[in-house]
Amino acid sequence: MRDEDLLDAVATAIRPKVAGEKAVVFCSHGADAVHWRHLLAAAKTADVLVLAFDDGLAAFPSTPGIRTAAQLLAERHALLATLATASPLSALVDRFDPHKRATLLITDPLNPTVTGSRPRLGAKHPSWSFFEHKSVVDVLWDSIGLPRAESAVYDAPGTLCRPEPASNTDLVYAGQPYGAVPSAGGEDIRWSSASVPSPIVDPAGRQRVRIMPMLAGTPCRLHGVVLTDSTVAFTPLELLVPRRPADGTFLCTGTAPMPESQQPRLIELTRWMGEALRRRLGYCGGFSVDGILTKSGFRPTDLNTRVTSAFEAAPPPLRVAVHASALLAQAGLRGADAAGLAEKAHRALNNAAHLTLLTVVKRPTPAARRDIRWSGLSLVACPPDEAHGSIEVTGGARGTVLRVRLGRDHLPADVSPQEVAVLAFRAADELLGTGLGDLQPPPVTGGAAPTQRSGATWPL
């Protein structure tokens, strides 16, 4: 299926909500603008304004310095809230739509509660994000019959969650401050072992903490879009999350496709989970379930009620089709081409030419770029015509950003994606002085046993 055909199929389904009126799109990438305009022109809108945070909205004031993913999201929500006031943003949109009749299309991960008086397509039900709280989500896994790891949730835990130094079980702590929205990007998650001190817990008791064992296996993301009458299940992805023994944190760096031999059964499980979310929560839209593929099967840890960053490096037409399909489902509209969307996503995620790694650098590091190549199991600087990839430090929305691109055809044989990430960031420290420090792959295990749910066996 051609990109245009996929977008036209979504446009046909969305047309009843937008035909004859103007539309304003808020999205993350300026590269998507031409495809949003194509889609909404095919949907018969009167006119389209696309505002991207890395393009048309980049000039609006923002907080300088390093920000977490949650802080960046809050900042963007605050900017969108000024649509309801006299502000530079509202003035910009009012010039395009002085009568305030344009339909707003606001893409994931954005989910602002205030956007002014204009109609909005596909706003989310407030209850859905409640289950993103790590101290709550285990109730959902139990209610749908999905096995999970043992866990305990403490209010104001104090010293109760500090294991004895002799403990032989590595533990993972997920903190949730009272009154805060769920955190994103792996923030507020720590781990400890006999050799790594347990994290400092707020002594004033201003948070809840979920504690669970660190499971050995492959960290992975099962993700898709729950449509009004079916679930699109995307290619399952390995989460590249090296551990940092210096401070007991994880470095969230990107994703890689799971081995193709494991994909069909994980896709089946993803589809089942999407249907369970619709059945239990009336859920529609993009979602992901992060977890660990262990010897006992898939064990969930987190729910994301949105299209995730897995599509950040996808071709812009596909990214627009995925986000538009999520909005379509959230608006209760039928007709998105589920088969075409799944096929396009499968090809893009499995056949990407590069493994792309991305992380925020907290040490002051000047902008720089190096071409690199493999020399055994080390990455070294090289001339451009000999390169297997590149490492680059640039400015980004969250501060100083390190981006690594490695050609998949040149990755060392018998080296896991987790180990590749560790080797790549070691090279960044050596060549660009990024100061990421010692990193370790997550604990691994061989093989995967069936996953049980509701008395049935999933052969994972």
Q: What is the pLDDT of residues 112-126, one digit of tens each?
A: 999 999 999 998 988
Q: Are 110 and 276 in contact (CB under 8 A)?
A: no
Q: Is the pLDDT of residue 263 over 90?
A: yes
Residue with tokens 């817990």: 201
Instruction: Write the pLDDT tens digit of every residue in 264-294.
Output: 999 999 999 999 999 999 999 999 999 999 9
The pLDDT of residue 190? 82
What pLDDT is stored for residue 60 in this prediction?
Answer: 87
Query: What confidence tens digit (pLDDT) does each residue in 303-348 have?
Result: 999 999 889 888 999 999 999 999 999 999 988 888 899 999 999 9
Which tokens in the block code for residue 352?
């990407």
Nearest to 142 by CA among 450, 448, 451, 454: 454
From CA 89, how far away is CA 79, in angstroms rounded? 8
Q: Lowest-confidence range among 174-188, 212-226, 344-358?
A: 174-188
Torsion over CA: 385, 387, 389, 391 (sign): negative
Is pLDDT at 355 greater than 70 in this prediction? yes
Percent of the chain whose predicted confidence (pLDDT) is above 90: 65
Q: Rounded to two decimals, what is the model's pTM?
A: 0.90
For residues 127 and 123, give the distance between their C-alpha atoms in angstroms, rounded to a whole number.
12
- How would you label 171-184 residue by residue, b for 16+ Cβ within 10 Å and e otherwise? bbbbbbeeeebbbb
Tokens for 393, please give them: 């430090």
**Dist CA 174 CA 302 (whole Å):** 10
Residue predicted with more confidence, 35 or 204: 35
Centroid of chain to Cα 324: 17
80 has pLDDT over 60: yes
Please compute the mean of the pLDDT values over residues 88-97 and round it to a whole number.
97
Calculate the dihedral angle through the C-alpha atoms of 22, 28, 31, 35, rounding to the nearest 10 degrees: -40
What does the alpha-carbon distance between residue 268 and residue 460 come to, in Å, rounded to a whole number? Answer: 10
High-pLDDT (> 70) share of the chain, %: 89
Euclidean distance between CA atoms 448 and 445, whole angstroms: 8
Helices within 43-113 (DSSP H only): 69-81, 88-96
Q: Can you tell me the distance from the alpha carbon of 459 to that of 448, in angstroms, rounded to the nearest whole number?
A: 9
Predicted confidence at residue 453, as pLDDT, reads 41
d(CA 18, CA 286): 21
C-alpha span between 165 and 214 (Å, rounded): 16
Measured distance CA(166)–CA(146) in Å, rounded: 32
Label residue 455 by pLDDT band (50, 70, 90). Answer: very low
Kindly tell me if the per-residue pLDDT of 199 is higher than 80.
no
Q: What is the rounded average pLDDT for all residues in the chain?
A: 88
User: pLDDT tens digits, residue range 364-412?
Assistant: 899 999 999 999 999 999 999 999 999 999 988 888 999 999 999 999 9
Q: Is the pLDDT of residue 459 over 50?
A: no
- Cα radius of gyration (the chain): 22
Structural tokens at position 20 = 């004859």
Cα angle value 450/453/459 (rounded, 5°): 25
Contacts of 414 (CB under 8 A, 6+ apart): none
8 Å CB contact between 365 and 411: no
Q: How many CA atoms lie within 13 A of 137 on its CB side?
A: 29
User: Which of 148-157, 238-247, 263-272, 357-366 is least confident?
Assistant: 148-157
Give the mean model confidence (pLDDT) for residues 19-46: 96
CA distance readout (Å), 52 to 34, 73, 425: 11, 14, 30
**Helical ranges in 181-257 per DSSP H:** none
